[in-house]
């Protein structure tokens, strides 16, 4: 598969602050790549640098197989951008806004009309065509922002935290729309600090912290990279100290922690963890009041690698 | 592409009411204010009856003077409205402002006032006249008594006009106020210019980012935006001038040059705003604040508030007078008003054009930038 | 006092436009009121002229000498005359034709050409002077008196005048004129600067979200308001003080005579009026752009209509009826009095009356603002 985006050794300083450190990755055609990282990790800086907006100190950037530069109009006409800050004109209607931005890329009026109508449909703003942005809620505004970025059917789409402060309905709509676009052939680079979105949407994930890539792979690969496989929180009606010690010695247990009456068991990645646990319970004739099974999340991955949480 | 951007930007600018306020309505309010405040100036030099009192003295009586007073206070266009009162009442009337002055009839005539205003000056002037005529007549009698009799009988006329002066230039320094206001209106085109640049630079707004990412040269966006600004500013300028003509400011038969320099001034204003927008990374509001204050200062220095300021700057800081765009506009208008030939007007126009070209090149150079250290 | 402290933090964020405003108004004030430049005297007693005598007769020389006594005659070449008039370097150019005197003696009404500069007042003085001289001279001419004699007689005749007596003691010197003009002018500056700073800060507090947050905070509404008003007063007083310092820098000791001190007091009272206006704007007006538009219109409008820029004596009667509802009018009235006359009990009476009216303005404006502010809060709650 062709590489749509290729970034090698991207380094960017803001004065003395190193914002991006030897940032390298690539994106294949038709992929949805997620940049996952806490606030301030450099996601936006990475995107802006790749788009040629920022001066970089080191690095090579290629898009569609050609070197990226601010004057690379051939490349730019097939790129779409949905920025973190909603940038729509307060004094143009929803329709006029989308038409304007699409018009920067598509000159033919008839074709543009079709594209605009389609974009409106994709984001679900049919009822709001004639509304002015100040009258729209946060979620609707973001949908408009997206429509402005996708109307011209770009081959490569950048989305920078498009779901911040958005109501659940809009959020679902946004995620669904992106998936649909991708099915129609758009390559997507998506940044966020919400791991649920990444898990839902992305083929591959790039985890970023302090300007560096700390982990990379599919969602499953990343989760599998953890030592910990499953996490079980269990509460027993009665548990003697002796029984607890025995429990701790269960094979395939990596770690145990006790908080009050809740015991958290961290299992290695194995298929028969639960079998072993139930066997133990049966043997010791224990009564479990509650049991919570948690599969590892990307937050756990992040936590393990960096010692920090994704959401601060 | 051109029309696409032009059309959309036109919509945006026209729908944004604050821009319309500054560029169009504020100048109209300002000149209406001027019109209202200055409405009396020509009145002041017109004829108005002055209220005075005369305090008679039991001892000293001057028949001749009383006759003269009588003449001056009769008829439909009388100069004085006279009341004959005692001294206490006269003082009271003076304090209350009912009379401008009162005359004490004594050996030597005395004129009592409590301020030195226009009316008081006129009264003094008339009374001085009376005293002087008396002196002339008595001299004449000493020299040529027979002729003197003849002259007296024929009647003495003190109202003959011996001055030949241009009629028609009836307004006065006040026009400088108006021209300054016009200059201010032109400079306010900068609001549009500021906005245009704001939307073009990625480090100034998110719009800028979207525009920079578009697949063509930035000038393709700047030019139609600039032309929208010019178009709207031109309309505002023409409206202002037309309004001024309607409320009575006289431009003679030189309306076309007046419109022209106003439009040119508007363009310069737009460019000033754009240039300001390119400087520094202050918040948009701060830049607006600085711009409003600067525009006002430039207009002030061109005489908008106090006409003599224009003169002061011309004398003490001629360089400022030469490069202050507001002054160039106001001076251009003033030379149309004052001179018959167009030389001075053209000089101002050319200076404006030069400034415009300089600004334009600065802007053209600066907006080519597409990469930033940070945004 | 957390709101009070916060107030100044807010001020810091908008201090640039404020600084610019202050700087500019100070510069403007300096330019218009700097010692050499006060030209608010609309009744010019010594106009600037240039006299060109092409007749050179005894008679014309007599006229010229009279004119020179009452004006400032500058020697300017003919080609440069128009330019001088353009720049108002001179008020009028006076040109006496050849054979002027002899034609007069022949019984014709000869005229003197006067080219006026647009500065009306001075030119009119010139006209009046010329007409006076020639009308008087005509009497002699009719009486067949010789040229030389006329000139001699007129020299004395024209000394005749009526004694002018002021029944108030005037203190109008050039210095006091300037001081008075300065204080009048800063009514504009004070209003503009105070509105620029105070309204902006108040607007931050009025913003809906902030309002809602603060009405659910534990600080009582009264305390909250009080601290904001305290912040306002501090800023306004600071601005006022800066202008007073400038006054001192420009006029030195004159600032400390009795009349000037009263003007200082007057300006302090006016500052409170300006503050009240700024407060009202901060309460009622939400949009930032409307605010700055209003600030400019109000400060300019008040200044013009109140007589701060154009002397009250010049404003028409119709204007003056409107002016009475403008606080600046009363402020300027006091200053004009103080600038011209020595203090008498009567002057003080007028001064206190005007000051009282200004205070009434303050009370009314605050009253209305607070009343409606309460209503708004209740409405949100």
Predicted confidence band at A1 (pLDDT cuts at 50, 70, 90)?
Answer: low
Nearest to B136 among C24, C140, C288 (CB): C140
Per-residue pLDDT of B254-288, as tens digits, reads 889 999 999 999 999 999 999 988 886 777 777 87
Q: How far is CA A246 from CA A237, A267, B248, in A?
A: 17, 15, 104
Chain-chain contact of A52 with B373 (C-beta, under 8 angstroms): no
Torsion from C-alpha of C354, C359, C365, C369, nearest 10 degrees = 180
Chain-chain contact of A100 with B8 (C-beta, under 8 angstroms): yes
What's the confidence (pLDDT) of residue C380? 42
Cα–Cα distance for residue pair B186/B265, rounded to 1 Å: 5
Per-residue pLDDT of A254-274, as tens digits, reads 778 888 888 888 888 777 888
Cα–Cα distance for residue pair C381/B367, rounded to 1 Å: 49
- Angle value at C-alpha C237, between C236 and C242, nearest 5 degrees: 100
Per-residue pLDDT of B174-209, as tens digits, reads 788 899 999 999 999 998 999 898 888 877 788 888
Instruction: Find out whether B345 and B332 touch, Cβ atoms under 8 Å.
Output: yes
On whether any CB of chain B is under 8 Å from the CB of C319, the answer is: yes
Taking only the tens of pLDDT, chain C with its 381 residues reads 777 777 777 777 667 767 777 787 777 777 776 655 544 444 455 778 888 888 888 888 888 998 888 888 888 877 777 777 776 677 788 888 888 888 888 877 778 888 877 655 667 778 888 888 888 888 888 888 888 888 888 888 888 888 888 777 776 677 787 888 889 988 988 998 888 788 777 766 666 556 666 666 666 667 777 777 888 888 899 889 989 998 888 888 778 888 888 999 999 999 999 999 988 887 777 676 677 778 778 888 898 888 888 777 777 777 788 888 999 999 999 998 888 778 888 888 889 999 999 999 999 998 888 887 766 654 443
β-sheet with C48-53: strand ranges across: B163-165, C112-116, C92-96, C48-53, C72-73
Q: How far is C20 from chain B (nearest CA, A)?
A: 7
What percent of chain A is helix, strand and coil (3-state, nearest 5)? 35, 30, 35
Which residues 60-89 of C are in CB contact (within 8 Å) with B? Answer: 82, 85-88
ipTM attached to this prediction = 0.75
B50, B163, B338: best to mutate for the C interface, most C CBs within 10 A = B163
Per-residue pLDDT of B297-342, as tens digits, reads 899 899 888 777 887 788 778 888 899 999 999 999 988 887 778 8
**Structure-token pair, residue A176:** 């669904």
C20, C118, C153, C166: best to mutate for the B interface, most B CBs within 10 A = C118
On whether any CB of chain A is under 8 Å from the CB of B11, the answer is: yes
Cα–Cα distance for residue pair A166/A169, rounded to 1 Å: 8
Domains belonging to chain B, first-starting first, are 2-38+176-367 (no CATH), 47-154 (3.40.190.10)
Chain-chain contact of C31 with B309 (C-beta, under 8 angstroms): yes
What's the confidence (pLDDT) of residue B371? 80
**Domain residue ranges of chain A, discontinuous segments joined by +:** 3-223, 227-295
Domains belonging to chain C, first-starting first, are 2-38+171-380 (no CATH), 48-157 (3.40.190)
Report the CATH fold assignment for A3-223.
Rossmann fold (3.40.50)
On whether any CB of chain A is under 8 Å from the CB of B157, the answer is: no
The percentage of residues in chain C with a pLDDT greater than 70, rounded to a whole number, is 84
Cα–Cα distance for residue pair C367/C35, rounded to 1 Å: 41
Paired with C96 in beta bridges are C53
- Angle value at C-alpha B299, between B294 and B345, nearest 5 degrees: 130
Return the axis-axis angle of helices C345-380 and C327-340, rounded to nearest 10°.
160
Chains B and A touch (3+ CB pairs under 8 A): yes
Chain-chain contact of C142 with B132 (C-beta, under 8 angstroms): no
Task: Indicate the CATH number for domain A227-295.
Answer: 3.30.70.100
DSSP one-letter code for A193: S
Among candidates A284, A247, A279, which has minimal Cα distance to A264?
A247
Handedness of CA C317, C318, C323, C324 (dihedral sign): positive
Predicted confidence band at A144 (pLDDT cuts at 50, 70, 90)?
Answer: very high
Which residues 254-283 of C are in CB contact (within 8 Å) with B? Answer: none
Q: Please give the full DSSP string across C4-24, using - where no structure is assigned.
A: HHHHHHHHHHTHHHHHHHHHH
Q: How far is B321 from chain A (nearest CA, A)?
A: 40
What's the confidence (pLDDT) of residue A113? 94
What's the confidence (pLDDT) of residue A287? 87
Instruction: Find out whether A141 and A103 touch, Cβ atoms under 8 Å.
Output: no
Handedness of CA C228, C233, C236, C238 (dihedral sign): negative
- Angle value at C-alpha A306, between A300 and A309, nearest 5 degrees: 50
Instruction: Find out whether C109 and C83 touch, Cβ atoms under 8 Å.
Output: no
Instruction: Find out whether C112 and C96 touch, Cβ atoms under 8 Å.
Output: yes
Between residues A1 and C117, the one the model is more confident about: C117
Cα–Cα distance for residue pair A88/A286, rounded to 1 Å: 62
β-sheet with A17-28: strand ranges across: A17-28, A3-14, A58-63, A66-67
Q: Which chains reach chain A with 3 or more Cβ–Cβ distances below 8 angstroms? A: B
Other Cβ atoms less than 10 A from the Cβ of A44: the count is 19
3-state secondary structure of A297: coil
């Amino acid at each position: 598969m062709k590489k749509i985006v290729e970034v090698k050794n991207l380094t960017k300083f803001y004065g003395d602050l190193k914002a991006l450190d030897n940032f390298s990755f690539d994106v294949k055609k038709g992929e949805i790549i997620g940049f996952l990282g806490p606030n301030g990790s450099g996601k936006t800086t990475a995107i802006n640098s790749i788009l040629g907006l920022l001066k970089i100190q080191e690095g090579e950037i290629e898009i569609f197989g050609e070197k990226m530069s601010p004057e690379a109009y051939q490349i730019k006409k097939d790129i779409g951008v949905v920025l973190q800050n909603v940038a729509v004109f307060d004094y143009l209607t929803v329709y006029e806004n989308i038409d304007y931005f699409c018009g920067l890329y598509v000159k033919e009026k008839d074709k543009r009309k079709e594209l605009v109508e389609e974009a409106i449909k994709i984001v679900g703003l049919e009822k709001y065509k004639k509304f002015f942005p100040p009258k729209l809620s946060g979620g609707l505004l973001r949908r408009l922002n997206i429509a402005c970025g996708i109307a011209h059917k770009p081959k490569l789409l950048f989305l920078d935290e498009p779901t911040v402060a958005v109501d659940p309905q809009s959020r679902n709509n946004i995620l669904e729309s992106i998936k649909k676009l991708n099915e129609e052939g758009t390559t997507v680079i998506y940044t966020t600090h919400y791991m649920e979105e990444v898990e839902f949407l992305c083929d591959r994930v790039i985890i970023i912290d302090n300007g560096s890539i700390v982990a990379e792979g599919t969602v499953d690969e990343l989760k599998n990279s953890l030592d910990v496989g499953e996490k079980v929180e269990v509460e027993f009606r009665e548990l003697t100290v002796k029984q607890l010690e025995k429990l701790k010695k269960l094979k395939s247990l990596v770690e145990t922690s006790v908080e009050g009456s809740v015991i958290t068991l961290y299992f290695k990645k194995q298929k028969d963890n639960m079998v072993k646990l139930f066997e133990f319970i049966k043997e010791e004739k224990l009564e479990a009041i509650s049991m919570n099974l948690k599969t590892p999340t990307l937050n756990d991955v992040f936590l393990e690698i960096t010692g920090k949480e994704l959401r601060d | 592409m051109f029309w696409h951007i032009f059309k959309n930007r036109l919509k945006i600018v026209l729908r944004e009411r604050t821009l319309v306020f500054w560029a169009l309505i504020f100048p109209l309010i300002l000149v209406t204010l001027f019109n209202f405040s200055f409405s009396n100036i020509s009145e002041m030099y017109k004829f108005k009856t002055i209220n005075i009192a005369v305090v008679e003295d039991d001892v000293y009586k001057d028949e001749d003077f009383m006759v003269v007073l009588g003449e001056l206070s009769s008829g439909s266009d009388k100069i004085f409205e006279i009341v004959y009162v005692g001294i206490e009442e006269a003082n009271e009337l003076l304090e209350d402002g009912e009379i401008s002055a009162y005359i004490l009839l004594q050996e030597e005539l005395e004129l009592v006032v409590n301020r030195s205003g226009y009316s008081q000056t006129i009264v003094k002037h008339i009374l001085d006249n009376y005293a002087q005529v008396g002196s002339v007549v008595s001299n004449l009698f000493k020299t040529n008594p027979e002729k003197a009799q003849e002259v007296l009988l024929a009647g003495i006329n003190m109202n003959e006009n011996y001055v030949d002066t241009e009629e028609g230039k009836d307004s006065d320094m006040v026009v400088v106020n108006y021209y300054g206001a016009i200059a201010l209106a032109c400079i306010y085109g900068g609001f549009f210019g500021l906005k245009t640049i704001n939307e073009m630079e990625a480090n100034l707004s998110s719009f800028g980012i979207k525009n920079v990412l578009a697949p063509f040269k930035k000038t393709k966006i700047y030019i139609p935006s600039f032309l929208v600004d010019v178009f709207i500013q031109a309309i505002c300028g023409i409206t202002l001038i037309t309004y001024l003509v309607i409320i009575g400011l006289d431009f003679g038969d030189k309306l076309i040059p007046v419109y022209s320099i106003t439009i040119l001034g508007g363009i310069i204003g737009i460019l000033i705003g754009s240039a300001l927008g390119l400087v520094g990374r202050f918040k948009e509001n701060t830049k607006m604040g600085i711009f409003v204050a600067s525009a006002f200062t430039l207009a002030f220095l061109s005489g908008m508030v106090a006409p003599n300021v224009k003169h002061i700057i011309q004398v003490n800081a001629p360089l400022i007078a030469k490069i202050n765009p507001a002054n160039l506009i106001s001076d251009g208008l003033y030379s149309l008003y004052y001179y018959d030939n167009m030389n001075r007007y053209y000089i101002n126009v050319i200076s404006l054009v030069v400034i415009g070209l300089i600004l334009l090149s600065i802007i053209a150079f600066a907006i080519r930038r597409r990469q930033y250290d940070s945004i | 006092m957390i709101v009070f402290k916060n107030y100044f933090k807010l001020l810091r964020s908008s201090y640039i436009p404020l600084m610019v405003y202050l700087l500019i108004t100070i510069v403007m004030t300096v330019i218009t009121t700097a010692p050499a430049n006060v030209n608010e005297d609309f009744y010019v007693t010594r106009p600037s002229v240039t006299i060109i005598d092409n007749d050179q007769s005894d008679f014309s020389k007599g006229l010229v000498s009279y004119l020179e006594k009452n004006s400032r005659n500058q020697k300017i070449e003919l080609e440069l005359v128009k330019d001088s008039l353009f720049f108002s370097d001179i008020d009028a150019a006076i040109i006496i034709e050849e054979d002027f005197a002899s034609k007069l003696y022949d019984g014709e009404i000869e005229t003197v050409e006067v080219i006026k500069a647009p500065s009306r007042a001075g030119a009119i003085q010139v006209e009046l002077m010329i007409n006076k001289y020639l009308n008087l001279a005509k009497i002699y001419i009719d009486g067949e008196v010789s040229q030389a004699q006329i000139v001699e007689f007129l020299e004395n005749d024209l000394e005749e005048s009526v004694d002018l007596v002021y029944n108030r003691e005037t203190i109008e010197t050039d210095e006091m004129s300037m001081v008075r003009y300065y204080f009048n002018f800063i009514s504009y500056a004070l209003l503009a600067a105070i509105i620029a700073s105070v309204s902006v800060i108040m607007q931050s507090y009025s913003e809906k979200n902030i309002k809602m947050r603060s009405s659910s905070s534990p600080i009582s509404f009264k305390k909250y308001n009080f601290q904001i008003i305290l912040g306002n007063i501090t800023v306004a007083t600071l601005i006022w003080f800066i202008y007073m310092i400038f006054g001192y820098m420009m006029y030195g000791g004159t600032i400390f005579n009795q009349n000037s001190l009263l003007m200082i007091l007057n300006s302090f009272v006016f500052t409170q009026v300006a503050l009240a206006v700024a407060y009202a704007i901060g309460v009622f007006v939400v949009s930032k752009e409307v605010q700055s538009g209003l600030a400019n219109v109000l400060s300019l409008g008040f200044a013009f209509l109140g007589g701060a820029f154009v002397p009250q004596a010049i404003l028409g009667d119709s204007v003056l009826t409107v002016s009475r509802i403008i606080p600046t009018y009363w402020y300027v009235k006091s200053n004009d009095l103080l600038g011209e006359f020595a203090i008498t009990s009567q002057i003080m009476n007028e001064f206190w009356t005007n000051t009282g009216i200004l205070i009434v303005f303050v009370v009314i404006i605050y009253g209305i603002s607070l009343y409606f502010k309460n209503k708004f809060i209740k409405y949100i709650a």
